[in-house]
Structure 1
Amino acid sequence: MKQRTPEKIGLVFIHGAGLEGRIWSKVATGLDHPVLLAELPQRKGDDETRKGLSLADYVNGIKRQVDEWGIRKFMIVAHSLGGVLALGLASELKGRVAGIAAIGAVIPENGGSFVSAMPFPKRIVLPAILRKMGTKPPAAAIRAGLCNDLPADQAAEIVRGFIPEAVRVYTDRIGVSVPNVPKLYVKLTKDKELAPSLQNKMISNFSPQSVRSLETGHLPMLSDPDGLRSILEDFLADAGYND
């Protein structure tokens, strides 16, 4: 009787605020695993269409993409705001998540939100700022924060394509704990958007079995895709999934 070949573990990539799934393309290329470059909801069309969305809408939108994808067992690779969404997705799909790699990601304490993970006084004033000023930072802030180590042409593309998110994806509480699965945090040592000192707090909240570092800014999938891919391959191998 012919033995069935075990299904390869998949990787679900969750991008950060303002971006699109294709930002992961250079990392995903060359991985010997099924990949899903998930999209946050309603990336196309008028910005008004996203304003009423909740954090649950974001999580459920990613869950639908995973269900349609059809891969049973997968690891989540989450960046920045995507860390909050990864916790929600893992809670929704218990038993299917084989691990989480958090890449310069925000990991709130149990029951917290993106905003609650920020340092004082930012966590107090940020909700009011988001509601009044919107969720798209000024171009200069995007260049200085997200794109500090990127060439000018890449930075210009990020600024030009930045997509405002719903306020509630930042302010709604996720209400779940970090799952008991293999976990990796990739610390970005030159990050000007999520400072290394704040990443240390996220690492404490996440309690990963492994912490790796990349000497990049906030977007290592653009500035060092080969280095990030190599770290992910090591994580898969350590968890026994890189056969």
Structure 2
Amino acid sequence: MSIQEGTQEKIGFVFLSGAGLDSRIWSKVVDGLDYPYLMATYPRRQDSMESRKKLSLDDYVTHVKRQVDEWGPRRFVIVAHSLGGVIGLRLASERNDRLAGCISVGAAIPKNGGSFLSVLPFPQRMLISTIMRIIGTKPPESAIRAGLCGDLSAEQTTEIINGFTPEAIRVYTDRIKVSLPTVPTLYVKLTQDKEFSPSLQNKMISNLSPQWVRSLDTGHLPMLSDPDGLRAILEEFMINARS
């Protein structure tokens, strides 16, 4: 768990990473951010995949909630990326009394009662479901390189590939039954995303019905390819949400 020490009366940001990614992926975004922040981790990251494979979505959410509850700022804005969108919706529902806003960054936003897999087009959903049952949740290196790293440097790409941590299958398949948050919401659309196509992101935007939509001309990992642009959007959100 990474926490910025600072003024506790400020509203803070809680960052939720996408599948397989270390929480430190947000480091360049939070560098210079004038708000408290928590880069939340997912459960049992240092354990073997065998010991983690039975984890449920509930286990992920409980692990994140514990970090939020131990953190300083009472009120916070969720910043959720990709798979983190599903976890973020649950966190928003269960800590609604402390929630100040929700920002989805190329994030999966299923309809009420859906799962991460449910947001995918039917053929892709069936294919990925079959692949996960056979070989697990770590994509081949070529898929990580093409889907996640299209606009990253060679060094960044190597770090993503070497650091990719397979998630438990149930975080993709468990369904969530929550209402959409009633706080200010923003969707950050990634126009060059090869993992979540712009058309799929449009579907997520429709599911979320956010107050604002902003675009970044990046691939799936804007926190690495354009951290300054993403940070500016977060700061703009704080100003707009308070006005």
TM-score range, shorter chain: over 0.9
* CA apart distance, 1:45: 2.6
Q: What is the alpha-carbon distance in structure 2 between the residues aligned to residue 60 and residue 6 of structure 1?
A: 23
Alpha-carbon displacement from aligned partner over 1:6-32 (angstroms, at most 9, x marks no partner): 810010000010011100011011111
Of 107, 111, 114, the residue aligned with 1:112 is: 114
Mapped to 2, the partners of 1:86 and 1:26 lie a distance apart of 21
Pairwise CA distance, 1:42: 1.3
Tell whether 2:146 aligns with 1:144: yes
Aligned to 1:235: 237
Shift of 1:142: 0.2
- CA shift for structure 1 position 178: 1.3
User: Does 2:173 align with 1:171?
Assistant: yes
Aligned to 1:94: 96
Which residue of 2 is the match for residue 123 of structure 1? 125
Deviation at 1:125, TM superposition (A): 3.6
State the AA in 1 paired with 2:132: L
Q: 2:111 & 2:127 partners in 1: Cα distance?
A: 19
Q: Which residue of 1 aligns with 2:3?
A: none
In 2, Cα distance between equivalents of 1:10 and 1:222: 21
- Equivalenced residues, count: 237
Query: How far, CA to CA, are the matches of 1:133 and 1:175 in structure 2?
Result: 29
CA deviations 1:28-56 (Å, max 9, x no partner) are 11111110000111111312221010011
- Amino-acid identity (%): 66
- Partner residue, 1:190: 192
TM-score between both structures, scaled by the size of structure 1: 0.95
Deviation, 1:71, is 1.8
In structure 2, the partner of 1:12 is 14
Q: Partner letter of residue 205 of structure 2?
A: I
Name segments (4+ residues, structure 1) moved above 6 Å: none
- Partner AA of 1:233 in structure 2: E
In structure 2, the residue corresponding to 1:211 is in which secondary structure? strand
Match of 2:43 in 1: 41
The answer to whether the Cα contact below 8 Å between 1:111 and 1:177 also exists between their aligned partners in 2 is no
Matched residue SS, 1:11: strand
Kindly indicate whether the alpha-carbon contact (under 8 Å) linking 2:137 and 2:169 is maintained by their aligned counterparts in 1. yes
Q: How far apart are the structure 2 equivalents of 1:224 and 1:183?
A: 21
Tell me the CA shift for residue 88 of structure 1. 0.4
CA distance in 2, matches of 1:221, 1:56: 26
Q: Residues of 2 paired with 1:219 and 1:84: CA distance?
A: 17
Change (3 A) 1:6 1:19: closer
Mapped partners of 2:223, 2:160: distance in 1: 13
Give me the whole-angstrom Cα distance separating, in 2, the residues matched to 1:43 and 1:138: 20
1:177 positional shift: 2.0
2:77 equivalent in structure 1: 75
Structure 2 residues not aligned, in runs of 5+? 1-6
Q: Does 1:200 align with 2:165?
A: no
Q: 1:158 aligns with which of 147, 157, 160?
A: 160
Residue 37 of structure 2 aligns with an amino acid whose one-letter code is V
Distance 2:96 2:242 in 1: 19
Query: What is the DSSP-based 3-state SS (H/G/I as helix, E as strand, rest coil) of the residue aligned with 2:131?
Result: helix
1:126 shift after superposition: 2.6
In the TM superposition, residue 123 of structure 1 has moved relative to its aligned partner by 2.2
Equivalent position amino acid for 1:70 in 2: G
What is the CA–CA distance in structure 2 between the aligned matches of 1:66 and 1:49, rounded to whole Å?
24
Match among 193, 209, 212 for residue 211 of structure 2: 209
